[in-house]
């Protein structure tokens, strides 16, 4: 078996498995050994599940040998963000309160990935309750490109493990940018779907109308396969939309043919540092060079929506934690507790004004997509901030605004986005940008992401570990 098998794309791996060239059992054992060697330093896993992984690998190997291939994910070792329930296996959500919680059933996304034949290597670490900070008693994952740099939140474990070759794909969640931040920070591809595209049943809640569950992978093709497996309506989640789920791999090679790509130079330049500015400009030129019909548009004013995100998230988080806060307040870290206190202090009048502004913004974004098919925006205003700098997030309003400006607005509107690597900083850390589409148009995102990645090498680079 190749020494660098751990950096194969997920679908490249399973194609070789289905052809009999690779053994799911051997690959899984190699992954478990790699986790054992590297993850003490990277801290991406909250919990490794070797017995479950080995049992699932044996089943996959036997089924594949008999020609009973369940689909393109069959045999792929993956990781689950530790918000996703796993029957009988601890699921803590980054919280000490739930350290001993063992769900009696799987989350819908967990069950669907199992049905697709994936192999669960373990649960990936996330911030406390999936907000901004790790609980003070839980170690933060470490960026595999440079330990001094931020690994992203809250799906930081998913980003680190996928980038470091500890799994071939993972699930993350995104409420204000938590698929996109760690995807950008770690140089992986992250898909935040349309709100309602993926069931949230059995996934710890941060903010009900803002939470999105999606894949984090090494490329757009792999993300398309994972979303195909997990998306769709769910009788256990009435907010999971009754919208048919296409095979996202079909047509992924169609590129930018017929797609109108919008950019707002003024919006995109707001607060950007030099590294992000240069990488974004280069990415737009590449899109043009491979057939993208790039045209200038004006993005709707979003400053009020960025400001509204925190109180909107706070009140929904307060509702989600009503059973344990404030009765167990002493067991909460300061970041999550502060968010809940903010939400509990919001008046009905204030909440209604936020709801009205949010609905109006959603309508303006939908109208914009009558003129274009895709939008290009940065993933964040500044490339690869240091851990030290991000420690001041709660005290630096400009830093918080710069972090959220290009992400939380699409949680507020529910639009899907794909985050794609597009360069590196002078420190050798990744930079990324987003394609954004109209609701339910994830197929266009995969087409665009795949076309960009066929023309570039950024996503094929890996940290030296």
Active-site choice (44, 140, 154, 156): 154
Q: Is 23 a catalytic residue?
A: no
User: What gap in Å lies between CA 324 and CA 129, rounded to an integer?
Assistant: 12
- Whether residue 451 has a cis bond before it, omega within 30° of 0: no
Q: Is 241 left (phi over 0), alpha (psi -120 to 50) or beta?
A: beta
Whether the CB-CB separation of 213 and 170 falls below 8 Å is answered with: no
Q: Is 178 a catalytic residue?
A: yes
- Whether residue 44 has a cis bond before it, omega within 30° of 0: no
DSSP assignment, residue 149? Answer: B
Phi/psi of residue 35, nearest 5 degrees:
-60, -45
User: What gap in Å lies between CA 103 and CA 89, rounded to an integer?
Assistant: 7
User: What gap in Å lies between CA 266 and CA 448, rounded to an integer?
Assistant: 23
Active-site choice (23, 44, 81, 173): 81
- List Cβ neighbours of 163 (8 Å cut-off, separation of 6 or more): 144, 145, 186, 187, 188, 462, 463
Active-site choice (178, 183, 302, 384): 178
Whether the CB-CB separation of 92 and 49 falls below 8 Å is answered with: no
Whether the CB-CB separation of 75 and 18 falls below 8 Å is answered with: yes
Q: Is 389 a catalytic residue?
A: no
Report, as residue numbers or ranges, the catalytic residues: 81, 154, 178
């Amino acid at each position: 078996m190749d020494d660098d098998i751990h950096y194969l794309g997920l679908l490249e791996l399973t194609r070789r498995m289905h052809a009999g060239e690779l053994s799911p059992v051997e690959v899984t054992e190699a992954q478990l050994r790699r986790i054992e060697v590297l993850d003490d330093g990277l801290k991406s896993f909250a919990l490794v599940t070797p017995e479950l992984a080995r049992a699932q690998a044996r089943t996959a190997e036997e089924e594949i040998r008999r020609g009973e291939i369940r689909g393109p994910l069959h045999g792929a070792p993956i990781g689950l963000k530790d918000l996703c329930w796993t029957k009988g296996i601890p699921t803590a959500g980054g919280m000490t309160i739930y350290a001993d919680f063992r769900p009696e059933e799987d989350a819908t996304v967990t069950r669907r990935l199992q049905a697709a034949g994936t192999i669960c290597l373990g649960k990936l670490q996330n911030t406390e309750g999936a907000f901004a900070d790790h609980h003070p008693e839980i170690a933060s994952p470490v960026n595999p490109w440079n330990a001094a740099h931020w690994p992203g939140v809250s799906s930081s474990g998913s980003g680190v493990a996928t980038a470091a070759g500890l799994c071939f794909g993972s699930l993350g969640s995104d409420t204000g940018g938590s698929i996109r931040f760690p995807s950008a920070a770690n140089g992986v591809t992250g898909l935040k779907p349309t709100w309602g595209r993926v069931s949230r049943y059995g996934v710890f809640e941060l903010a009900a109308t803002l939470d999105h569950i999606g894949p984090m992978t090494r490329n757009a093709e792999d993300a398309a396969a994972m979303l195909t497996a997990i998306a769709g309506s769910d009788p256990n989640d009435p907010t999971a939309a009754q919208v048919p789920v296409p095979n996202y791999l079909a047509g992924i090679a169609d590129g930018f043919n017929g797609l109108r790509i919008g950019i707002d130079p003024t919006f995109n330049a707001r607060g950007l540092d030099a590294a992000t500015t240069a990488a974004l400009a280069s990415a737009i030129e590449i899109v043009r060079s491979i057939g993208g019909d790039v045209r200038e548009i004006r993005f709707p004013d979003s400053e009020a929506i960025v400001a509204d995100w925190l109180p909107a998230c706070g009140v929904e988080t307060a509702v989600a934690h009503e059973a344990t806060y404030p009765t167990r307040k002493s067991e909460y870290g300061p970041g999550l507790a502060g968010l809940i206190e903010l939400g509990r202090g919001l008046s009905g009048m204030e909440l209604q004004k936020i709801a009205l502004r949010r609905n109006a913004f959603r309508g303006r974004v939908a109208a914009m997509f009558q003129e274009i098919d895709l939008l290009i925006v940065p993933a964040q205003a500044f490339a690869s901030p240091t851990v030290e700098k991000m420690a001041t997030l709660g005290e630096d309003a400009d830093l918080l605004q710069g972090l959220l400006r290009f992400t939380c607005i699409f949680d507020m509107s529910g639009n899907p986005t794909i985050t794609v690597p597009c360069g590196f900083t002078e420190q050798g850390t990744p930079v990324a940008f987003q394609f954004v589409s109209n609701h339910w148009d994830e197929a266009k995102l995969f087409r665009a992401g795949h076309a960009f990645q066929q023309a570039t090498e950024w996503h094929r680079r890996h940290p030296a570990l």
